[in-house]
Structure 1
Amino acid sequence: MYMYIGIAGALGAITRYLVGVVMISESVFPFATLLVNLTGCYALAFITSRSLPISKKLKSAIGTGFIGSFTTFSAFSVETITMIDDGQIGLAVLYIILSVVGGIIMSNLGWKYEVAK
């Protein structure tokens, strides 16, 4: 089980890094982190709310390993503090609202999709 989670975690971390590379922006707003966190909220809710024809090991590897390392609360926190430190209070508040409310909405969408089928 640990091996599956470790491999999936490595793949999630690499994917997270690649999203950051592709989305290089001059903006002070952390779009890449917001994107991976909202996508991760949807994906985790989607996977955990479904009866998928995959093993428990694979489901844990995807949820804990891949999605766990793909999303990043620590980057969200540091980016928020950096914006506050730079005097960009409005952007920091917007980022917090989009991240928290958006994460809940995306999780709800992922969960509701399964319930509707």
Structure 2
Amino acid sequence: MKTILAIAAGGALGALGRHFLAYHVNALIGPGFPWGIFVCNVLGSFAMGVLVEASAMFWSPSAELRAFIAVGVLGAFTTFSTFSLDVVLLLERGDMVKAGLYVTASVLCGVIGLFAGLHLIRAVMA
């Protein structure tokens, strides 16, 4: 139960962080490209790398704290950080084909899924 509460609390913070950072970056740079979410994705991926390597090298956070940061905060701040970690783990294992397929399929299927959801609702509401 402590882990679930840690994830929920981290998720709330991560989602708010994504919202406010993306808003301010977009306000600063302007429209035309989703710079705010791009910055969140890159920053979240960087933070995930720091967390994973620090945990492997010199820091041993509790399971609840790891869940709070990785699943909660970073998972809500950007699911892209988790995706990036999966890709890097595949690459570090030497599984280039799986990594390439995972990247390609994730991006294509994610975009196709979004279009499918748009079209479903548009068809239902028409």
Same-fold call, TM cutoff 0.5:
yes
Q: Which of the pair has the greater relative contact order for Cα pairs under 8 Å at 6+ separation?
A: 1
Give the match for residue 60 of structure 1: 67
Q: TM-score when scaled to structure 2?
A: 0.54
The alpha-carbon distance between structure 1 residues 72 and 30, as it changes in their structure 2 partners (threshold 3 A), is farther
CA distance, structure 2, for counterparts of residue 36 and residue 26 of structure 1: 16
- Greater Rg by CA: 2
Q: In the TM superposition, what is the alpha-carbon distance from 1:59 to its structure 2 partner?
A: 1.1
Shift of 1:40: 0.6
- Structure 1 length as normaliser, TM-score? 0.58
**Percent identical:** 29
User: Given residue 58 of structure 1, which amino acid in structure 2 is its aligned partner?
Assistant: L
Q: How many residues align?
A: 79
Give ranges in structure 1 of 5+ residues lacking alignment: 74-99, 108-117
Q: 1:38-53 to 2 correspondence within 5 Å?
A: 38-51=42-55, 52-53=59-60
Q: Please give the alpha-carbon distance, in whole angstroms, between the structure 1 residues aligned to 2:35 and 2:79.
A: 13
> In 2, distance between residues paired with 1:72 and 1:48?
15
More helix by proportion, 1 or 2? 2
Number of the residue aligned with 1:20: 22
Match of 1:9 among 6, 11, 22: 11
Measured at CA, do residues 54 and 72 of structure 1 come closer, stay the same or move farther in structure 2, by a change above 3 Å? Answer: closer
How far has the Cα of 1:26 moved from its partner? 3.1
Q: Tell me the amino acid that sits aligned with residue 12 of structure 2.
A: A
- Unaligned stretches of 5+ residues in structure 2: 89-126
Cα distance in 2 for partners of 1:65, 1:8 equals 4
Q: Which runs of 4+ in 1 moved over 3 A?
A: none
Amino acid at match of 1:27: P
